[in-house]
């Protein structure tokens, strides 16, 4: 049986995976492309006496060398020379999808277009003349509905015929306008004469890539023939200057315009006819003229975010109190019914006061997620990205960066891990790096309980306002750092951004519930697994080895001295039962005894492993107003930010004696000596900016292509955070706060 390799390519979400599954069934194999983390899926389809090995290329919009996916797809086509590319085109977004098709044709590989999602196109009133499209493009076009397997058989038949004939198509040469065409011709001649890279690529294609400033081809060319490369680059520079002067455009933009022009001209020749879904589009447009208005839009956006926080804090206040009450009750029961000892301490201080502190905020998280789900499902979040694109450009970021920021918790409650992954849609490596290094500054779901705790303890009457300010500060910080990075370590040009705005939709109740539930459950599950595990470890670090015998002895002596000095009063305390009123002398003695017990508990914590670390850091951290207990929590926060809350819970639980005065952790913090609103602000600032959690660091290292960047983000962020916290704390102290 003869074996033939086919590549499956197309834009993301065009139905590639669906078609791949339909063609190969269970005969699949998943691996990686050599040397990179891009997933490579292979499968087999047997048709009569031919075995088709089908490779699912990464989904891309283009074939430039801006993103890893594009380089992988291109390299595969050039090096492995598949017999044909099955290019999946989303019929509902024909114009944008054909942009990629055109680039396959320019590369000169045999293309078969699978015109997919015909059903969706029909629903939207789009009809496409497949035959005419095929004739004008000069490639076979087969209509498919991958989800139902329709058109699969015909697609394979056509492929069989193309492969069987073994015809190599004429590569497509588009005109890019007089200036560029002239330069390309000149360059093509030089490239052909010297044979630069022509063993793999067509000469005109190499010239085109030089014109497009393609990093991969540029560096290959420079290595192969520095002199010729310099001469080609000089031609490009001349055209670039000319185009800049006459049209204020870069060659890349002119080239893209002409490609789209080519597509438009094909579509207008009766290939595409659209019966508009007028009403919805019209309504969306009208809404957009207000919501994305240059002046009103940003104000409305701020109001929406403000409203979200107001909504969240107002409606979650009561359920949060209930939950805190529940954990308080649970702790009380454990206090009464469990025998003293390590197990009791682990259960109360490590688990109930630690993890319970994180779980206490579940209602708040839930309301926040509900609001976010509404903004996303309605289509408003896309508008936020659209509006912020203008701002982002100023700071050297890209429109697609906005989405990564929002996913990471830009408004609230996201996660930096998917945020870092979302930067994959960024084409420019530099913009991508700047984005993925700054998304961890957003207020992810793990930081929320930390902020909520501190806000509840010190700014209880202005919760929404403080949360709003926190959000603004985190964005300002992220953008300024991005600007700093883009003008130092990752300097370079910006790339253009086109964004489609989906029509507004009224979210369905079910959709909102599902989204809210998914995310809330994720939060709860993380608290019950990862955070629980870390809490137990931290409890152990905060418990062992305990105070040395000599120190314990000292407290015991102190106690005995007091008791023997006034035996009658001691006797009274001993005999009194819970809740009985004591004489004035007994009250005083009890107070003194409690004082000793408190100092004893504090000493035990101080002498523990974690306590020693916290104390050692105190000489430095005091500049930001953090005492040794806070230091323990912050060190724990390197693992995951929720741990800051659980660790503070454990620390204040271990150090606590007088059970009658317990309350929620926020109440304890508000009462604790050494804590004031300024301390809370300093801690909020530090938590906002310091090292990303462990999982995020791993993810950053992987996506940025090296541990260097993971380490960079840990060190840089922590130094930045500490500096800011010190500035805030010192300035605040000077001003008398």
Nearest distance in Å: CB 30, ligand GDP: 13
Q: What is the distance between the alpha carbons of residues 283 and 719, in angstroms, rounded to a whole number? A: 49
Contact 592, 610 (CB under 8 A): no
Contact 526, 379 (CB under 8 A): no
Q: Scanning the structure block, which residue is given the tokens 């995951």?
A: 640
Could you tell which of Mg ion, ligand GDP, none binds residue 146, using a CB distance below 5 to 8 A set by kind?
A: ligand GDP
In sequence order, the β-bridge partners of residue 89 are 115
Closer Cβ to ligand GDP, 23 or 145, answer by number: 145
Pairing, β 111-116 against β 126-128: unpaired
| Residues in 116-155 at the binding interface with ligand GDP, rule: CB under 6 A | 116-117, 119-120, 145-147
Give the per-residue contact string, 228-247, with ligand GDP (x = CB under 6 A; - = no): --------------------
Nearest distance in Å: CB 18, ligand GDP: 3
Q: Which stretch binds Mg ion (CB under 5 A): 10-18, 60-68, 267-275, 420-428?
A: 10-18
CB atoms within 10 A of CB 342: 12
Q: How many residues does the chain have?
A: 737
CA atoms lying within 13 Å on the CB side of residue 351: 13
Could you tell which of Mg ion, ligand GDP, none binds residue 120, using a CB distance below 5 to 8 A set by kind?
A: ligand GDP
Closer Cβ to ligand GDP, 133 or 452, answer by number: 133
Edge-first strand order for the sheet with 39-47 is 28-32, 39-47, 50-56, 2-10, 84-90, 111-116, 141-143
Pairing, β 126-128 against β 272-274: antiparallel
Closest CA to 677 of 454, 361, 452, 474: 454
Nearest distance in Å: CB 76, ligand GDP: 16
Could you tell which of Mg ion, ligand GDP, none binds residue 186, using a CB distance below 5 to 8 A set by kind?
A: none
Contact 356, 652 (CB under 8 A): no
CB atoms within 10 A of CB 27: 12
Closer Cβ to ligand GDP, 10 or 350, answer by number: 10
Q: What is the DSSP letter of 506?
A: P
Could you tell which of Mg ion, ligand GDP, none binds residue 570, using a CB distance below 5 to 8 A set by kind?
A: none
Q: Which stretch binds Mg ion (CB under 5 A): 11-19, 31-39, 402-410, 585-593?
A: 11-19
Could you tell which of ligand GDP, Mg ion, none binds residue 12, using a CB distance below 5 to 8 A set by kind?
A: ligand GDP
- Written as six digits, the tokens of 558 are 């102190």
Closest CA to 416 of 615, 693, 111: 693
Nearest distance in Å: CB 152, ligand GDP: 11
At residue 150, the 3 state secondary structure works out as strand
Could you tell me what percentage of the chain is helix, strand and coil, using 3-state DSSP and rounding each to the nearest 5?
70, 10, 25
Sign, Cα dihedral of 449, 450, 455, 456 = positive
In sequence order, the β-bridge partners of residue 617 are none
Nearest distance in Å: CB 513, ligand GDP: 21
| Total interface residues for ligand GDP by CB under 6 A | 16
Nearest distance in Å: CB 41, Mg ion: 8
Q: What is the distance between the alpha carbons of residues 683 and 691, in angstroms, rounded to a whole number? A: 14
Contact partners, residue 600, CB within 8 Å, separation at least 6:
547, 552, 555
Q: What is the DSSP letter of 145?
A: B
Nearest distance in Å: CB 17, ligand GDP: 3
Could you tell which of Mg ion, ligand GDP, none binds residue 116, using a CB distance below 5 to 8 A set by kind?
A: ligand GDP
Could you tell which of ligand GDP, Mg ion, none binds residue 117, using a CB distance below 5 to 8 A set by kind?
A: ligand GDP
Contact partners, residue 45, CB within 8 Å, separation at least 6:
23, 24, 27, 51, 52, 54, 156
According to CB under 6 A, which one of 6, 7, 15, 292 is a site residue for ligand GDP? 15
According to CB under 6 A, which one of 4, 14, 471, 666 is a site residue for ligand GDP? 14
Q: What is the distance between the alpha carbons of residues 589 and 439, in angstroms, rounded to a whole number? A: 55
Q: Which stretch binds ligand GDP (CB under 6 A): 115-123, 203-211, 608-616, 628-636?
A: 115-123
Closer Cβ to ligand GDP, 113 or 704, answer by number: 113
Contact 109, 188 (CB under 8 A): no
Please give the span between the terminal C-alpha atoms of the chain, in angstroms, as a whole number: 82
Q: What is the distance between the alpha carbons of residues 19 and 208, in angstroms, rounded to a whole number? A: 32
- Written as six digits, the tokens of 569 are 């009063």
Give the per-residue contact string, 12-41, with Mg ion (x = CB under 5 A; - = no): ----xx------------------------
Could you tell which of Mg ion, ligand GDP, none binds residue 495, using a CB distance below 5 to 8 A set by kind?
A: none
Q: What is the distance between the alpha carbons of residues 365 and 377, in angstroms, rounded to a whole number? A: 18
Segment (H or E) for 320: helix 296-337
Q: What is the distance between the alpha carbons of residues 58 and 419, in angstroms, rounded to a whole number? A: 19
| Residues in 54-73 at the binding interface with ligand GDP, rule: CB under 6 A | 59
According to CB under 6 A, which one of 4, 8, 9, 16 is a site residue for ligand GDP? 16
Q: What is the distance between the alpha carbons of residues 196 and 228, in angstroms, rounded to a whole number? A: 8
Nearest distance in Å: CB 181, ligand GDP: 34
In sequence order, the β-bridge partners of residue 389 are none
CB atoms within 10 A of CB 611: 26
Closer Cβ to Mg ion, 144 or 292, answer by number: 144
Q: Which stretch binds ligand GDP (CB under 6 A): 112-120, 161-169, 224-232, 574-582?
A: 112-120
Contact 85, 98 (CB under 8 A): no
Could you tell which of Mg ion, ligand GDP, none binds residue 119, using a CB distance below 5 to 8 A set by kind?
A: ligand GDP
According to CB under 6 A, which one of 5, 12, 149, 330 is a site residue for ligand GDP? 12
Closer Cβ to ligand GDP, 181 or 377, answer by number: 377
Nearest distance in Å: CB 131, ligand GDP: 20
Closer Cβ to Mg ion, 19 or 184, answer by number: 19
Q: What is the distance between the alpha carbons of residues 395 and 392, in angstroms, rounded to a whole number? A: 5
- Max CA separation in the chain (angstroms): 111
Closer Cβ to Mg ion, 17 or 718, answer by number: 17
Could you tell which of ligand GDP, Mg ion, none binds residue 481, using a CB distance below 5 to 8 A set by kind?
A: none
Nearest distance in Å: CB 59, ligand GDP: 5
Closer Cβ to ligand GDP, 60 or 64, answer by number: 60
CB atoms within 10 A of CB 468: 17
Nearest distance in Å: CB 86, ligand GDP: 12
Closer Cβ to Mg ion, 16 or 259, answer by number: 16
| Residues in 282-341 at the binding interface with ligand GDP, rule: CB under 6 A | none
Q: Does 425 bind ligand GDP (CB under 6 A)?
A: no
Closer Cβ to ligand GDP, 91 or 184, answer by number: 91
Nearest distance in Å: CB 455, ligand GDP: 40
Closer Cβ to Mg ion, 39 or 157, answer by number: 39
Nearest residue relative to Mg ion (C-beta) = 17
Nearest distance in Å: CB 144, ligand GDP: 6
Which chain residues interact with ligand GDP by CB under 6 A? 10, 12-18, 59, 116-117, 119-120, 145-147
Which chain residues interact with Mg ion by CB under 5 A? 16-17
């Amino acid at each position: 049986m003869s074996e033939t390799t086919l590549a499956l390519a197309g834009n993301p979400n065009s139905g590639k995976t669906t078609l791949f599954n339909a063609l190969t069934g269970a005969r699949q194999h998943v691996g990686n492309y050599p040397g990179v983390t891009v997933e490579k899926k292979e499968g087999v389809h047997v048709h009569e006496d031919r075995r088709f090995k089908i490779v699912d290329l990464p989904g891309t919009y283009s074939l430039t060398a801006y993103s890893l996916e594009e380089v992988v797809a291109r390299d595969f086509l050039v090096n492995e020379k598949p017999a044909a590319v099955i290019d999946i085109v989303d019929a509902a977004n024909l114009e944008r999808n054909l942009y990629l098709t055109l680039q396959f044709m320019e590369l000169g590989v045999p293309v078969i277009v699978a015109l997919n999602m015909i059903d969706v196109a029909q629903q939207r009133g789009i009809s496409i003349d497949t035959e005419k499209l095929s004739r004008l493009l000069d490639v076979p076009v087969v209509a498919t509905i991958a989800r139902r397997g329709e058109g699969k058989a015909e697609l394979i038949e056509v492929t069989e015929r193309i492969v069987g004939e073994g015809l190599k198509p004429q590569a497509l040469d588009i005109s890019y306008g007089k200036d560029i065409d002239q330069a390309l011709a000149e360059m093509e001649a030089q490239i052909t004469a010297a044979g630069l890279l022509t063993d793999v690529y067509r000469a005109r294609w190499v010239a085109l890539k030089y014109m497009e400033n393609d990093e991969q081809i540029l560096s290959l060319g420079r290595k192969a023939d520095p002199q010729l490369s310099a001469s080609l680059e000089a031609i490009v520079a001349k055209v670039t200057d000319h185009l800049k002067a006459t049209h204020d455009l870069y060659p890349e933009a002119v080239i893209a315009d002409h490609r789209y022009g080519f597509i438009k001209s094909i579509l207008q020749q009766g290939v595409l006819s659209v019966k508009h879904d007028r009403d919805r589009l019209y309504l969306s447009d009208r809404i957009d003229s207000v919501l994305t208005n240059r002046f009103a839009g940003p104000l409305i956006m701020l109001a929406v975010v403000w409203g979200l926080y107001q909504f969240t804090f107002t409606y979650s206040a009561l359920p949060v109190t209930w939950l805190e009450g529940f954990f308080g009750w649970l702790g009380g029961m454990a206090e009464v019914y469990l025998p003293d000892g390590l197990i009791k301490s682990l259960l109360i201080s490590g688990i109930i006061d630690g993890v319970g502190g994180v779980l206490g905020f579940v209602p708040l998280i839930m309301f926040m997620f509900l609001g976010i789900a509404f903004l996303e499902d309605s289509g408003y979040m896309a508008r936020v990205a659209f509006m912020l694109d203008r701002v982002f450009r100023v700071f050297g970021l890209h429109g697609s960066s906005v989405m990564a920021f929002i996913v990471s918790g830009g408004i609230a409650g996201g996660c930096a891990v998917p945020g870092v992954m979302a930067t994959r849609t960024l084409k420019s490596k530099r913009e991508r790096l700047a984005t993925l290094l700054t998304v961890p500054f957003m207020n992810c779901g793990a930081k929320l309980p930390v902020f909520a705790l501190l806000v509840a303890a010190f700014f209880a009457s202005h919760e929404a306002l403080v949360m709003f300010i926190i959000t603004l500060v985190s964005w300002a910080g992220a953008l300024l750092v991005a600007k700093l990075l883009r003008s130092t370590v990752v300097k370079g040009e910006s790339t253009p951004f086109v964004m489609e705005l989906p029509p507004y939709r009224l979210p369905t109740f079910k959709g909102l519930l599902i989204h809210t539930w998914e995310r809330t459950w994720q939060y709860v599950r993380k608290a019950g697994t990862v955070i629980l595990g870390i809490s137990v470890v931290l409890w152990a670090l905060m418990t062992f080895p305990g105070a040395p015998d000599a120190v314990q002895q000292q407290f015991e002596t102190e106690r005995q001295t007091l008791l023997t000095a006034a035996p009658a009063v001691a006797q009274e305390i001993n005999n009194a039962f819970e809740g009985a009123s004591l004489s004035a002398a007994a009250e005083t003695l009890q107070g003194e005894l409690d004082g000793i017990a408190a100092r004893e508990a504090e000493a035990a914590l101080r002498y523990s492993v974690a306590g020693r670390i916290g104390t050692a850091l105190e000489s430095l951290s005091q500049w930001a107003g953090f005492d040794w207990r806070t230091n323990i929590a912050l060190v724990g926060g390197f693992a995951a930010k929720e741990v800051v809350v659980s660790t503070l819970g454990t620390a204040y639980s271990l150090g606590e004696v007088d059970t009658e005065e317990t309350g929620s952790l926020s109440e304890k913090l508000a009462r604790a000596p050494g804590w004031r609103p300024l301390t809370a602000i300093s801690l909020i600032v530090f938590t906002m900016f310091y090292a990303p959690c462990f999982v995020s660091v791993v993810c950053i290292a992987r996506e940025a292509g090296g541990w260097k960047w993971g380490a960079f983000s840990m060190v840089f962020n922590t130094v930045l955070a500490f500096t800011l916290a010190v500035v805030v704390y010192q300035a605040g102290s000077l001003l008398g706060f």
